[in-house]
Amino acid sequence: MASFLRTASRLRPAAARSIAFQSSKMTTAVSFPAQRQYASAAASATISNDVEQPFFPDEPKGPTVKTAIPGPKSKAAIEQLEKVFDTRSLNMMANYNQSFGNYIADLDGNVLLDVYAQIASIPVGYNNPALLLAATSPEMASAIINRPALGNFPQHDWAEILETGILKVAPKGLNQVFTGQTGSDANELAYKAAFMWRRQHERGGAHVEFSDHDIASSMVNQSPGAPQLSILSFKAGFHGRLFGSLSTTRSKPIHKLDIPAFDWPQAPFPVSKYPLDQYAAENAAEEQRCLDETERLIKEWPQPPAAVVVEPIQSEGGDNHASPAFFRGLRALTRKHNVLFIVDEVQTGVGATGKFWAHEHWGLTDPPDMVTFSKKAQAAGYYFGNNELRPNKPYRQFNTWMGDPARALLFRAIIQEIERLDLVQNTATTGEYLYKGLERLAQAYPSEIQNLRGKGQGTFLAWDSPRRDEVLKKAKTVGVNVGGSGERAVRLRPMLIFQKHHADIFLESLEKVFKA
């Protein structure tokens, strides 16, 4: 162990110098002269006259495409991997040693501008020097090799790690956290908390002991010990692939086929017209229809909902938006019927929408009961504020790990990097700039960009494409890695370090795809 820690300590000065080097070079201004050649007036109209300081001046200046993707070296690696691992969902074979900042590399020397970021999961760039510094610290080494079973043997500074990291950015009104492993796990744990809370209230409080009938019936999966309760979710929503979370996932059949599921209710999510502000009256009527049906299900479903779970923006299901008024209406319904309100911020959280948490856009006066997180946090769990959401006895909300101090330390470093570079504001500013550029492209290519959406939501943007899969494939040939959602949507999930000059490169590349 001592040798390993000495090795890590030798790496830390190099990482620190890298951060200092990057910071010192940030004084170098980058501007984009008018004579730069663009594919057309539609793309060039997005050029900023502002002087922009790059966060990482040493990252590639643009994409490099040397071979078809996958190229020969990648094909060989894929063939080797296929022997021991299912590669049918493979997007590209990445070389992370050569990836940096906003750019992802492969084994054949291709370097792509990555606006998909591991399905929205990379927050501050590949091989970020600040994260390298955290990763090579003695604290991280100890957390990795002495991984504690946190419920039984928490490390001495676990409270300090939480308070200076995960809880430092807790949503307003939520001052506690239960940490987990993944986004699916975070939602499963939140559902369990909701069920235990509901039954605790029905018994008369935390002080009331379980009856003999409760105990015996639970062991044969019968009520009342295994109560006939539910979680209400929404059509096209996605909340994970474990059994409980999968029962609330409604995005694509391929996720659910052949898997037994709970008989839980599905409410309609508003089918909005875009841009939202141009169809305010129609969208308000649609949202009210959905709220009315949600209330009916809460009151009438045979297995009463203990909670309602919703994404601020339905991501996997097609990047579907609703107005803040809809979510305020949901909050009011859950209070009216004494049902918990769970906001699934696994994909929308940690700055992606120009707010640290997407539900900050709603203007709630009454915070959610629980907010789940993962992805860009590189950690997972759910925030809560009500002490009644703590189970009344130990071992009820429990597993071996109950989270991971190594990932909590990494999230703390991510938070520090977000604060150092003011990346939430950067995402809001860059998102506004990128949206305007996409509007211009939509005017020039109306058949290619339909239902553009995400205005005012940072870089959390999407549009519908009649040839979506072809667009995603051709984007790689012009140096861009981008993803899809739902059946027709192209979704953008760039990192928080994505800036205006990256947006220019993306827009120019996108237009090449449209012209082809």
**Average pLDDT score over residue span 209-231:** 97
- pLDDT of res. 166: 98
Mean pLDDT throughout 239-253?
A: 95
What integer pLDDT is reported at residue 51 of this predicted model? 75
The stretch 263-268 carries a mean pLDDT of 98
Of 240 and 39, the structure prediction assigns the larger pLDDT to: 240
For every residue of 250-299, DSSP letters joined together read -S-HHHHTT-------EEPPP---SSGGGGHHHHHHHHHHHHHHHHHHHH
- The pLDDT of residue 12 is 53
- pLDDT per residue as tens digits for the range 145-180: 999 999 999 999 999 999 999 999 999 999 999 999
What is the average per-residue pLDDT within 9-38? Answer: 42
Whether 195 and 306 have beta carbons less than 8 Å apart is answered as: yes
The alpha helices in 96-174, defined as continuous H runs, are 117-120, 129-135, 138-145, 158-164
Rounded to an integer, the average pLDDT of 260-288 is 96
Q: What is the pLDDT of residue 52?
A: 87
CA distance 124 to 119: 14
Per the prediction, the chain carries an average pLDDT of 92
Q: Is the pLDDT of residue 117 over 50?
A: yes
Please give the Cα distance from 349 to 469 (Å, whole number).
Answer: 27
Count the helices and strands in the chain (H runs, E runs): 17, 14
pLDDT tens profile 291-339 = 999 999 999 999 999 999 999 999 999 999 999 999 999 999 999 999 9
For residue 10, what pLDDT is reported?
A: 45
pLDDT at 102: 98
Q: 341 catalytic, yes or no?
A: no
- Confidence at residue 298, expressed as pLDDT on a 0 to 100 scale: 98
Using alpha carbons, select from 473, 459, 481, 509 the residue that is nearest to residue 105. 481
- pLDDT per residue as tens digits for the range 476-508: 999 999 999 999 999 999 999 999 999 999 999
80 Cβ contact list (under 8 Å, min separation 6): none
| Residues 466-479 pLDDT 10s | 999 999 999 999 99
Phi then psi dihedrals of residue 373, to 5 deg: -150, 160
Active site annotation includes 238? yes
Structure tokens at 458: 């940072």
pLDDT of 18 above 60: no
State the pLDDT confidence band at 34, using cuts at 50, 70 and 90.
Answer: very low
Give the pLDDT band of residue 19 (cuts 50, 70, 90).
Answer: low
Choosing from 106, 114, 319, 344, the catalytic residue is 344
DSSP string over 70-110: S-HHHHHHHHHHHTTS--TT----B-GGG-BBTEEEBTTS-
Write down the catalytic residue from 195, 238, 327, 411. 238
344 carries an active-site annotation: yes
DSSP assignment of 308-367: EEE-SSBTTTT-B---HHHHHHHHHHHHHTT-EEEEE-TTTTTTTTSSSSGGGGG--SS-
Q: How far is CA 514 from CA 45, 78, 471, in A?
A: 17, 29, 8
pLDDT of 516 higher than 60? yes
Query: In the structure encoding, which two tokens stand for residue 75, read together?
Result: 């094909």
pLDDT tens column, 44-92: 544 444 678 999 999 999 999 999 999 999 999 999 999 999 999 999 9
What residue type is 267 in one-letter code? Answer: A
How many Cβ atoms from other residues are within 10 Å of residue 487's Cβ?
12
Alpha-carbon distance of 362 to 324, in angstroms, equals 4
Active site residue 436: no
SS3 content of the chain, % helix, strand, coil (to 5): 45, 10, 45
Catalytic residue among 64, 168, 400, 469: 400
- Confidence tier at 43 by pLDDT (50, 70, 90): low
SS3 472: helix
Q: Report whether pLDDT(365) > 80.
A: yes
State yes or no: pLDDT of 279 exceeds 50: yes
pTM of the model: 0.92
Residue 28 has pLDDT above 50, yes or no: no
- Name the catalytic one among 136, 348, 372, 375: 375
Residue ranges and CATH numbers for the domains of the chain are: 149-419 (3.40.640.10), 426-465+512-516 (no CATH)
Is the predicted pLDDT of residue 447 greater than 50, yes or no? yes
Residue 180 in contact with residue 403, Cβ under 8 Å? yes
